[in-house]
Amino acid sequence: MSSPSCYLGVDVSKDTLVVAGQNRRWQFANTKEGQRKFIVQIKKLSAAGHVVCESTGPYHLPMCLALQEAGIAFTIANAARIYYFGLSEGIIAKNDPIDAALIERFAQSKRPPADPPLCREQLALSESVTHRQQLVEMIKVLRTHRQQVLHAALVTEIDQSILVLEKRLAALDRQLRAKIDAHPLWKAKFERLTQTKGVGFVTALTLLAKMSELGTLNRGQCAALAGLAPYDNDSGKYAGKRTIRGGRQEVRRALYMAALSAATHNPILKTFYQRLRGQKKLFKVAITAVMRKLLLHLNTVLKTLTAPPQTAAS
C-alpha cells in the first residue's frame, strides 16, 4: 500500500511560486534556481510531496517540468474548479498566499491523482502552432490597415511587411509538416484526420497540437473539452436554452472553419446541416451541431488507430 501524499498548493505567477502545505508557507522565485530550492524543500517533507497548481498560461510549465525530472508528482488543476470550490468554502478574499492555501485545501479535499508526464515534443508542437496563429493574425491586421492607408510610401512598406510574414508563415508550415512526418504517431493521426472531408492541414495540425487527448475520450468528454457540449439551463417548469461554454478556444475556432467546409463538401455532414436548417434551426445552432458531430467522428476515427512501431531512429 502506497504511503499517503503530502499535498502542496502552489500559486504560480510570472516571478514567484507561493507554496502552502503542512500549515506552513514558502515563497520561491519562479526561476531554475527557485525551482531547485522548492524541490529541495519538498524532499525534506515527512511524506511524498504532491504539488497541485492551476493552469496559468506558460508560467507553471517550467516548474512542472522540473518536478517531473525530480520524480515528484504534480497535478495541473482546472482553475474554475478551484475558484468555485473557494466560493463554496466562503473564501472571497484573494492574494497569493490565500490562493496557495486554497489550492492546498482543494487538493486535501478532492485528492486529485497525479497528471501523466508532460511531453516536451508535444509542448513544442503546441507552442509552434500558437506562433503560427499569431503570424496569421499579424498578417490580417496589416491587410486591414493597408486598406485604410492613403500614403503610397506607407502602403509599400506595409506590403513588404506582409510579404515577410507570409514567407515566414510558409516556412513555419513546412517545418511543422516535417516535424509531423518525422513522428510516426503524429503522422498516422494526421493522415487519418485529413481523410475526413472538411478537415485540412490547419484543422488537423490544431487538433494534434491543442487536443492531443483526441482518440482517448468518451463522447461527453470530447465535446466538453472543445467547448461544444450543450449544457442544460432548466429549473422547475422553466426550460431554458442549451448553451455551450468553456473548452479550448483554439480547437473550437479550427473546427468552426472545418465545419463550414464540411457542411458544403462532406455528404453526411451536408445532409445533417441541411436537415437542421430545414427545421428552422439558427445558423449558429446548426453549424455548432456540425462542429460537434465532426469532432466526435474524428475522436472515433482515432480510437481505432494503432500506434505504429517506434523505429530506432525515433
Interatomic CA distance for residues 31 and 15, integer angstroms: 8
- What integer pLDDT is reported at residue 46 of this predicted model? 83
pLDDT digits (tens, 9 = 90+) for 156-179: 999 999 999 999 999 999 999 999
- What integer pLDDT is reported at residue 308 of this predicted model? 53
Q: Are 129 and 210 in contact (CB under 8 A)?
A: yes
pLDDT digits (tens, 9 = 90+) for 212-259: 999 999 999 999 999 999 999 999 999 988 899 999 999 999 999 999
- What integer pLDDT is reported at residue 304 of this predicted model? 85
- What integer pLDDT is reported at residue 313 of this predicted model? 38
Residue 190 has pLDDT above 80, yes or no: yes
- What integer pLDDT is reported at residue 279 of this predicted model? 96
CATH superfamily of the 6-110 domain: ATPase, nucleotide binding domain (3.30.420.40)
- What integer pLDDT is reported at residue 83 of this predicted model? 95
Each domain of the chain, given as residue ranges in start order, spans 6-110, 120-182, 208-303
CA-closest candidate to residue 38, choices 54, 57, 56, 24: 24
Q: What is the mean pLDDT of residues 8-36?
A: 96
Residue 288 has pLDDT above 70, yes or no: yes
Q: What is the mean pLDDT of residues 57-66?
A: 94
Question: What is the DSSP secondary structure assignment for residue 19, as one 8-state letter?
Answer: E
Question: What is the DSSP secondary structure assignment for residue 25, as one 8-state letter?
Answer: E
Q: Beta 16-21 vs 24-29: how paired, if at all?
A: antiparallel
- What integer pLDDT is reported at residue 183 of this predicted model? 95
Record the pTM.
Answer: 0.88
Interatomic CA distance for residues 98 and 89, integer angstroms: 13
Q: How would you class 237 by CB atoms within 10 Å of its CB: exposed for 0-12, middle for 13-18, buried for 19 or more?
A: exposed
Angle (CA) 13 15 20, round 5°: 55
Q: Which residues pair with 74 in a beta bridge?
A: 51
Q: Which one-letter amino acid corresponds to residue 243? A: T
Longest Cα pair distance anywhere in the chain, in angstroms?
75
Q: What percent of the chain has pLDDT over 90?
A: 90
Q: Are 19 and 27 in contact (CB under 8 A)?
A: yes
- What integer pLDDT is reported at residue 95 of this predicted model? 95
- 306 pLDDT tier (thresholds 50, 70, 90): low
Q: Which one-letter amino acid corresponds to residue 10? A: V
Question: Taking all residues of the chain, what is their mean pLDDT, rounded to a whole number?
Answer: 93
Question: What is the DSSP secondary structure assignment for residue 12, as one 8-state letter?
Answer: E
Q: Write the CB contacts of 159 (distance below 8 Å, at least 6 apart in sequence).
A: 146
Residue 2 has pLDDT above 60, yes or no: no
Q: What is the mean pLDDT of residues 66-91?
A: 96
Residue 123 has pLDDT above 90, yes or no: yes
